[in-house]
Amino acid sequence: MDPEAGTLEAFYASPIQHPGLLWLAAGIAIAFCLSKRGLSRSLRRYCVTLAILSFADAWLTSSPVFGLGTLQGWLASGVPLFFVLAGDYRYLFFVLTATAGGEIEPRAKSLLVAAGLTFIVPILSQVALLLLPDSLASARMLFLIYEVGFVVLTLSLMRWHPQIRTIPWTGSVSRFVVLYYSLWASADLLILTTGLDLGYGLRVLPNLLYYGGLIATFAWFAPREPAPQAR
């Protein structure tokens, strides 16, 4: 940990926040999903899968990794990249497979299209960073470009993709995704332009929304299955 880090930056880098609070957020989310009545089986299974992904993400992207230490070699960059892509794929897969009745119905085409959409923002972010002068190119700037890019991608899908335009709960989830990516972007812009420690405190909120809130949002906005009729 950087000895010159501010209080909030130190908290942000601590195991209390990552993985501690992120595990807590994922745990609360899956408890909510499992207790929510009227959810389809396919959506409930999807929420459980995403909770497992969140637990693994928070564990394996912490530094050092509890029980494993610091990841070495290609794992140091490959593991975080995998979870970034998987985290965005969660939403894109959902948008392409959710039904008006609250089901998740994956098809081969949907899986491939979601994968293709997942790579748009990472690739364009790297290109944009290369175009910036060296004085502006930094990991934090890459984060900001990525976050703004995903907001633009999500808003574009909300505007033009028929799945979101015709199925209300996918639009509600999409607005939630815009919310946490906008909060991340605001926090990173604050850090880049002012260096204020507050930016790291602000970053905690979208972290919690990303690791746990998105899972709970699927369950919150999903249409309920009709209760079985008594005989």
In this predicted structure, the answer to whether residue 3 has a pLDDT above a threshold of 60 is no
Looking at residue 1, its pLDDT comes to 52
pLDDT of residue 2: 56
pLDDT for the residue numbered 137? 86
Largest CA distance in the chain: 72
What is the reported pLDDT for 214? 99
- The answer to whether the CB of 152 falls within 8 A of the CB of 124 is no
Per-residue pLDDT reduced to its tens digit, 94-123: 999 999 999 999 999 999 999 999 999 999
| Token pair of 229 as six digits | 């009729």
Question: For 65, which DSSP code?
Answer: B
- 122: which 2 tokens? 């990472």
- Residue 194 above 70 pLDDT? yes
pLDDT value at 77 more than 80 = yes
The stretch 24-43 carries a mean pLDDT of 97
Q: Can you tell me the distance from the alpha carbon of 178 to that of 167, in angstroms, rounded to the nearest whole number? A: 17
Rounded Cα–Cα distance for residues 5 and 200 (Å): 10
Other CB atoms within 10 A of residue 6 CB: 16
Per-residue pLDDT band at 223 (split at 50, 70, 90) = very high
Q: Which pTM was predicted?
A: 0.94
Residue 227 has pLDDT above 60, yes or no: no
> What domains can you pick out in the chain, each with its CATH number?
8-221 (1.20.1070)
User: Tell me, what's the pLDDT at 108?
Assistant: 95
Question: Predicted confidence band at 226 (pLDDT cuts at 50, 70, 90)?
Answer: low
* Predicted confidence (pLDDT) per residue in 139-170, tens digit: 999 999 999 999 999 999 999 999 999 999 99
Q: Please say if the pLDDT value at position 23 is more than 80.
A: yes
Say what the pLDDT of residue 134 is.
Answer: 87
Q: Coil, strand or helix: which one is 179? A: helix
Q: Which residue has the higher pLDDT, 136 or 39?
A: 39
Separation in Å, CA 66 to CA 5, 56, 58, 74 = 22, 11, 10, 18
